[in-house]
Amino acid sequence: MKRLLKVKFAWFPVWSTAVLMLCMICVYLPVFSGSTQKLTDFPLIVVNEDQGISSMNMGQKIMDNLVEKQNGHSFKWTIESSKEKALEDIKNNKAYGAIVIPSDYSASLVQLQKTLMTGETEGKPVKLEVLLNEGGGQMATSVASNALGAVSASVSNGISKGIKESMMKQGLQVSPQSTSLLDAPVQATTANVLGLPANVNKGMTPFVMVLISSITGLMGANMIHGYLGKIAEGMARKGHPLSSAKLLVTELLMGIILAVLVTSALLTFVFGVFGSAHTASIWRIYLFMLLCCLTMYFLFKMISIFLGKWGMLAMFPLNILGIFASGGAIPLTTLPEFHRIFSSFLPTRYMVDGMRALFYYHGHMQAGLGTALKYIVTYFIMFLFVCAAMVMMAHNKDKQSKNGQSSDSRQSSPNGQEMGMLAAE
């Protein structure tokens, strides 16, 4: 044992694993750093349908005072002309939420102020409408709700302050029945746009399915290669050698079978056992999930072919980065810049987008499925082409090796005959 421990290379698994885990810490912790997640270009919509009165448009004042950056957060506001257009954008997953200023907003505020200043007690708060995209995941929906709620609260506080100052200047007192109305003259009503049922697993089903497809590719590529390699070695010792090309083709074939089995079993449990809600047909989800599993398997298989026994050092970090950069568990807008860079080219991000479109947005191409298919199919063809090229290279190498052995055999045969004749003489 002492002699073994003195071999420097024997310590490679120890320090390489330690370094790899250190890298994982550097990937994990920045995502959860700080007391709150910083938002970057968080997409929201504002609709101003306020008709205004005379020369005053209070809805436009809300538009003018929208904050794009606050406390380290940045928001990407999109101005739409109507509530219907905002609903269409949310149903196509273009934004996480919207705030709608009604057409009678200015008129209602003037009437409310008049009611409070005349001492009437039948006034009602002015309404703003908040629309939420509940298909974006629990965290994204919560962030959108809080951000739009903060806008409504800020508007209400500003209106309340203005009315109180006007009443103080005129020496007016608010009636006890209207105190709460004066403190909150503007209120927001919240509605979920997609109308999804309760069993959406907090919007995490698409992420979990992509997570499983990634792990399937990682484990499948390594386990199939390891087990078939050992079996091939045993066959070679028994006098039944298997060519490198045939071994590689067998690994790829078993990877395809694995993808079909995992996809079938997964969807059986997701829909048959857990009854998860979905808006697109199960067959469309099945085919997309199968494409994801195959793409991830061929990705990790390609890495395994190129890096051999060192492949795991690249595959494991790539798998973790893909999971965090997918935007499935945590919205992309809340991730550090490092993770958003990886999200732009790693396939898992597009897989989550496509899966979300199928589960929550009726499989609309505009909701992210079109872009997802474009990228994932491109990745799949590229990875498959590389693996096929490696099979051809292995086949040519096997052929050259076989020809070399045949040539050596023919050269040794005459020499054997000559030696036999000399021995006979």
- The confidence score (pLDDT) of residue 422 equals 45
pLDDT tens sequence across 26-45: 666 665 555 556 778 889 99
**What is the CB neighbour count within 10 angstroms for residue 378?**
13
Please report, for residues 2, 386, 422, the alpha-carbon distance to residue 417 in angstroms, rounded to integers and kept in the order given: 52, 47, 9
Q: Is 54 left (phi over 0), alpha (psi -120 to 50) or beta?
A: left
- The confidence score (pLDDT) of residue 387 equals 94
pLDDT tens sequence across 107-154: 998 888 888 888 776 778 999 999 999 988 888 888 889 889 988 998
Domain boundaries, the chain: 36-192, 201-398
- The confidence score (pLDDT) of residue 128 equals 94
Q: What is the pTM of this model?
A: 0.83
As a CATH number, domain 36-192 is: 3.40.1710.10
Q: Phi/psi of residue 97, each to 5°? A: 180, 170
Identify whether the C-beta of residue 27 lies closer than 8 Å to the C-beta of residue 322. no
Residue with tokens 């200015």: 106
What stretches in the chain show pLDDT beneath 50? 419, 422-423
Output the CA angle 415-420-421, nearest 5 degrees.
100
**What is the CB neighbour count within 10 angstroms for residue 243?**
16
Identify whether the C-beta of residue 325 lies closer than 8 Å to the C-beta of residue 339. yes
Output the CA angle 36-39-45, nearest 5 degrees.
130
